[in-house]
Structure 1
Amino acid sequence: MRSKVLAFGVAAALAMAVAAGCASTTETPGSGATGGASGSESGAPTKSEYVVGYSQSNNAEPYRAQLNIQLEHFIKQYPDLKLLPITDAQQDSGKQVAHVQNFIQQKVDVLIVSPNEAAPLTAAVQQACDAKIPVIVLDRTVNTDCYSSFIGGDNVAAGRKAGELAVQLLPSGGNVVELQGILSNQPQIDRDKGFREAIAANPKIKIIQQREAKWLKEEATTVMNQWLAQNLKIDLVYAENDPMALGAYLAAAGRGQEKAMKFIGTDGLAIPDGGIRAVQQGQLAGTFIYPTGAEEAAKAANALVHGETVEKDQTLEIEGVTPENAADLYAKFDFSNK
């Protein structure tokens, strides 16, 4: 009897040891949290695969479509990262909130968000933070600092650079029309602010009209046609992104008036119908490369899941595109063969 009891006790002890060992290697998805504490540096066990969710504000914009392509490319550089299908909010903040909440329910290891609008997405980002999911806010800000990293360009600086170019192009002053993105978008607010600050250097430069064109070429073409139908004297068109600048150019070209004015955009994508090529072809007087941040986002995601720290705010450089450097910049940023 004693031997049977002893054997039973040994077996029970072994079972408990095995169970404890199994528990020590079990990890709940998303447990990396805001500090990315799921990696080897923290002493916590690693996983063979970490899931990344990306909520995109609107795939219809060429800039955002290119951002998606680049993010997929750079995520593949990290074999243990898995990018879920990118969601498209189609400029609908309510839809994007639902996308973010779905990623939270899936317990992704890292969440990347490009907010359509700051205010509506703030609570959703906070929910992810509360769920201990590291959040990378990409390109557009939210009204909370409960995120692991913000990655994006300085939109005030982008607008200011466009304004400085306008001052160079209109040394004697002139009339400017401004095509704006979605008015509630922070990039629109910031680019408008920077542009107006810069053109204040020449009081003879006047903004005679400004209209929302929602970042879209078609909307900008419609607005520009309306302005031209009013026979406005326009010396320069400032569009807060390249598709709107090219939409305005198409409208002017349709009336044979494109040579009577200058066009400035922002984004500087190295794609056939992007801003860099448009500068090469003489359609735009200049544009500015607003970096997608895709490479930095992939790097940050990898760092977070492995318990490494990342910079809280990563502000990326804005580079100007001119007829002189356009060819070199196109070759540098062309992802079509990567």
Structure 2
Amino acid sequence: MKLKRLIITLLVFIISASLLIGCGKGSNTADKEGSKNTNATTTSTKKKVIGVMIGDMSNQFQSYIMDGMKAEAKKYEDEFEFVFVDGKFDSNVQLSQAENFISQKVNAIVLIPGDKEGSKPIVDRIVKAGIPLIGCNTKVADMEKLTTYVGSDTIQSGELLMQGIADKLGGKGNIVELQGFYGHEPQIERHKGIQNILSKYSNIKVLAENTGKWNRAEGMAVMENWLKSDLKDKINAVVAHNDEMAIGAMKAVEAVGLLDKIIIGGIDATPEMLKYLKEGKVEVTVFQDAVGQGKKAIECAVKAVKGEKLEKEYMIPYELVKPEDADKYLAKYPTK
């Protein structure tokens, strides 16, 4: 009987020991898996983060800048993560986005401001946080606070546009000017460029000017109102601060059958505008290298994070585009 009890006790001891060893092994495995997961998380968070603040993603030209940015970003995807946000042309929205990026401790920020004056608190907070700030396409109020700026000479775009239209008019005629949002840096400087050229042509008269808010529908509405007024038979040309408003104006002019009598020009040389240029529905546009600006801005942001030296600004020249050049400029856009 005693022997029997001894055997049972030994069996219980052996089974218990086996269970303990099994549990111990399971615990080690879990620890190893946990260690692997932690290491994976650590590896993923080693990527540097660059915040990209787009002024308005619904704006066609800025969407092409973003295409250039994303194409360039692919070169660095092993080391960097790029977070794009839409400012919706609202400085308050952009200020909130900047504060979020600051709290997330991003390594650099690329900014296309919705408004020059409204950019002041945005720039101040980013700079105060010690985050490299790359301006793109549209100037901010305090340019000296930027790490660098990538864009073009906006006054030059207005000069090229107006000179192209003046040539089409033969140096005389009546124009209407469709401007961007009043107070926006491109609106101010493109208007200045247009005025620079008009000062040389005393026989070109400005009949009216109004804002089309950079928008096709708004541009079309303003043009429709002009065509319903006593200006209808006096307008010889439309000078639009961007292609979207120019296309809106073209639609309004086409609807009343005056495309053969009114010259239309814009700025940006977007693919759609280039198509209308080929078709003879508009006469001139000015190429602003959206893709080039976007690519350069991302390249500069990466260099800033890596501590590489940057120039204070990188200016990409505008180019006048005539109908015979349309295909050449269409080829500059990436195929979607």
Q: TM-score, normalised by structure 1?
A: 0.82
**Which of 83, 86, 89 lines up with 2:87 in the alignment?**
89
**What is aligned with 1:209?**
208
Distance 2:74 2:173 in 1: 49
Measured on the aligned residues, the alpha-carbon RMSD in Å equals 1.3
Q: Which residue of 1 is the match for residue 251 of structure 2?
A: 250
Mapped to 1, the partners of 2:298 and 2:228 lie a distance apart of: 47
Q: How does 1:37-48 map to 2 (within 5 A)?
A: 48=46
Q: Distance in 1 between matches of 2:259 and 2:322?
A: 18
Aligned equivalents of 1:302 and 1:279: distance in 2? Answer: 37
Q: Tell me the alpha carbon deviations over residues 19-46 of structure 1, each in whole angstroms, 9 at most, x when there is no partner.
A: xxxxxxxxxxxxxxxxxxxxxxxxxxxx
Which residue does 2:31 correspond to in 1? none
User: What is the count of residue pairs matched by the alignment?
Assistant: 286
Name the counterpart of 1:240: 241
- TM-superposed CA distance for 1:172, in Å, is 4.4
Which letter does structure 2 place at the counterpart of 1:97? L
**Partner amino acid, structure 1, of 2:191:** D
Bigger drift between 206-215 and 118-127 goes to: 118-127
- Give the conservation status (yes or no) of the 8 Å contact 1:246–1:283: no
1:124 to 2:125 alignment: no
SS at match of 2:195: helix
- Equivalent position of 1:19 in the other structure: none
Corresponding residue for residue 148 of structure 1? 147
Aligned residue identity for 1:198:
I
Cα distance in 2 for residues equivalent to 1:258 and 1:179: 17
Query: Aligned-pair distance for 1:289?
Result: 1.0
2:60 aligned with 1:59, yes or no?
no
Q: Is 1:295 paired with 2:295? A: yes
2:312 is aligned with what amino acid? K
Q: CA separation in 1, counterparts of 2:174 and 2:184?
A: 25
- Given that 2:163 and 2:197 are in contact with CA atoms closer than 8 Å, whether structure 1 keeps it comes out as yes
Which residue does 1:277 correspond to in 2? 275
Deviation digits for residues 48-106 of structure 1 (CA, Å, limit 9, x no counterpart): 4211111111112110111112211111112312111x211212111111111211111
Query: Shift in Å at residue 161 of structure 1?
Result: 0.6
Q: Retained in 1: the 8 A contact 2:110–2:298?
A: no
Residues 1:184 and 2:189 aligned together:
no
Partner of 2:3: none
| SS of 1:51 mapped into structure 2 | strand
Aligned residue for 1:325, secondary structure, equals: helix
Tell me which moved more, 282-291 or 244-253.
Answer: 282-291
Q: Residue by residue, what CA displacement relative to the aligned partner does 1:112-140 show, whole Å, maximum 9, x if unpaired? A: 11011111211211211111100001111
What is the match of residue 68 of structure 2? 70
Rounded Cα–Cα distance in structure 2 between residues aligned with 1:52 and 1:61? 22
Distance in 1, Cα, partners of 2:100 & 2:58: 22
Give the deviation of 1:336 after TM superposition.
1.6
Contact kept, 8 Å, 2:165 with 2:284, in 1: the verdict is no
Matched residue, 1:162:
161
Residue aligning to 1:37? none
> Bigger shift: 153-162 or 135-144?
135-144
Tell me by how many angstroms 1:225 deviates. 0.3
- How far, CA to CA, are the matches of 2:300 and 2:173 in structure 1? 45
The correspondence of residues 104-119 of structure 1 with structure 2, limited to 5 A, is 104-119=102-117
Q: Distance in 2 between matches of 1:141 and 1:328?
A: 29
For structure 2, the 5+ residue unaligned runs are 1-44
- 1:136–1:150: 8 Å Cα contact kept in structure 2? yes
Q: CA deviation at 1:200?
A: 1.7
Greater helix percent: which structure?
Answer: 2
Q: Rate the CA distance shift 1:225–1:51 in 2: closer, same or farther, 3 A.
A: same
Counterpart residue number, 1:36: none
Partner SS state of residue 195, structure 1: helix
CA contact (8 A) 1:181 1:212 kept: yes
| In 2, Cα distance between equivalents of 1:320 and 1:169 | 13
- Range 218-227 or range 95-104, more displaced: 95-104
Aligned to 2:313: 313
Partner in structure 2 of residue 101 of structure 1: 99
* Aligned amino acid, residue 93 of structure 2: K
Report the AA paired with residue 300 of structure 1.
Answer: C
User: What amino acid maps onto 1:256 in structure 2?
Assistant: G
Moved more, 247-256 or 315-324: 315-324
Q: CA deviation at 1:231?
A: 3.4
Question: In 2, Cα distance between the equivalents of 1:150 and 1:204?
Answer: 38
Say if 1:237 and 1:261, in contact at 8 Å, map to a contact too: yes
2:174 touches 2:206 (CA, 8 Å); kept in 1? Answer: yes
CA distance in 2, matches of 1:285, 1:168: 11
Q: Answer yes or no: is the 8 Å Cα contact 1:166–1:199 preserved in 2.
A: no
Provide the C-alpha distance between the structure 2 equivalents of 1:241 and 1:287, rounded to a whole number of angstroms: 9
User: Are the counterparts in 1 of residues 164 and 320 from structure 2 also a CA contact under 8 Å?
Assistant: no
Structure 1 gaps, min length 5? 1-46
